[in-house]
Chains A and B, each alone.
Chain A
């Protein structure tokens, strides 16, 4: 199948190096310590952060650092076919783990020993790249909750179809069977916290695809920073400073 037309347009009209439209909103769940809504095109996820709070299960308590827990779920209505997925299926368990590890890498857990931070992410609408969207949402929610972090983690996916590196795959491109690289970086520190790929790529192409994903992550970071700054200004204004 042709995923990139000879005119250089993808199926949805983007060019290979373009991301979908992104949008973020902070403070969507009033009860949570921090929350955010993140959209990448038609992929829409919501994240809520609780904590740092007392560890619920004493046996899990860590004496030198905070316990980070993460739960990833997909709303039953998030995909077109309304399939009832059992909670805790392999896929969500894996993504929960991936998100937890990625976030753990940026949270300064040593500052909050004997406490627990819960991150809940839910996919409201899925159209490819849910992993990245969840990480971005979680990152924003953590920032909203005021949890000390080394840097904002941002994530973006990239793939390789029709011998072209493509940024930010949507569902059709994702299910095309080509390689799909999901990358999470700490943009200020220039460090990689997450790198996943299914399918195979030669090293040269992989480097190109990864470079593209890095660009994507940086663009997301710029946007997230803007959103946070705007949010902070709002808070400032409300406080009347």
Chain B
């Protein structure tokens, strides 16, 4: 054997063989090198392993389609030209194309076929479930893809983090909020309990410290953690990979303990199949337990597995306590003389009046108008939120008085930003000193105060209507995008502070400054007023046409607080911290 191989030349030849094609002389050269060197063969194997793994992690359209029910399309004559040999075009016979197309379907279909065929037999073929679309796209980054009907938004994820209870994250960067999508990749926390719903229907209750790797809608790898998995019939075939073993669920509930060096599994209900290492498709039935690493089974381990019912009861109790504490905070805040209005969204409000509990007398109660729905608020059943998903839905109020600064604070759960501008709090006429607080369709917060409404600017309200006078001199203070579709259904705390004395506008998301901008001289106005205004919509009762701008927020707004003061960042942070639901 030849020891001193020319590794650069070998790498070049291997790359040619994987990426392009080898000339006849290069092919002979590769053959000769591999024949004479075990080291070269080893290198060849290693590079091919990496290449195959890359094909799996970044599946090309062709390989993805090979394993999809739409595979017939891949084998249409036009595509075959693209994929057939450039040296010998047309070698592939149409019959082969069609048959191959059908054969591809089976690679996915075979799984279902095998499951169905077996009936109760302990076999689940899992050819494709664990290795599709393992794309390392940054988590929850919305993308767009072209479809026949236009551009469609897509997101990356295989599961949803439904709920966390007292979870400690390694750091803020790795923190994942409830309701977030879980993309393929690692997922770790050092304590507490997380409930994860996989798209296939399986639910995992995971107690930390835990380290998981989400592989697909159908598979997860567990390195650490105590887990209870509930797998309904629709998710039959769900795989938990642990300690070199595939635990294949046949529609059941089972527990897995991968903590403190243990690796054991117990079936609570139904049965699972164990595959890999010392297991050869061994069936584990209800009441049975085994170790995955040949160690003795700890008979007490089931008692350590998180029980969702008990955890949820504890969570409800904690929520009640937290809500009681929050109510106390709100009651104290209601007496703050700086307060202009406070709409606490308590669970009992009568009729269509939306209570304002501020002790000051600037603002009236809100009036619910149109199709507004009361839905569970941030404290679930303990509080109420108002959903304003229809264009005519609005909470209307009237606020008298003049003010020297503004602080707006609210919690919002946004379903979508479906309009160009989506209202948080807008004064009707947008006259001098009046505020507009809203979110643009791209997720940017907008805060503005009218400075001089006498300056004539005209705004079109419709193709058949005359333009109306709308905006005078004002400046809109934008944040960067703070909301994206992946945040649908999450509660977010928003705040805006307009401080003419300090000449600053500061906006906050979840208690943290998201943008701050100086108020330039021409935009300074220190006599502020609100008048008639709306939460979650924009009222324009004095417009001269029947057309109106659609700005209702498609979502829920809770606990709108308005103060005649520029709260400090610490005070905003306090409102966020005391109000956030753990």
Q: Tell me whether A and B are bound partners.
A: no
B residues touching A (Cβ–Cβ < 8 Å)?
Answer: none
Residues of A within 8 A of B (CB): none
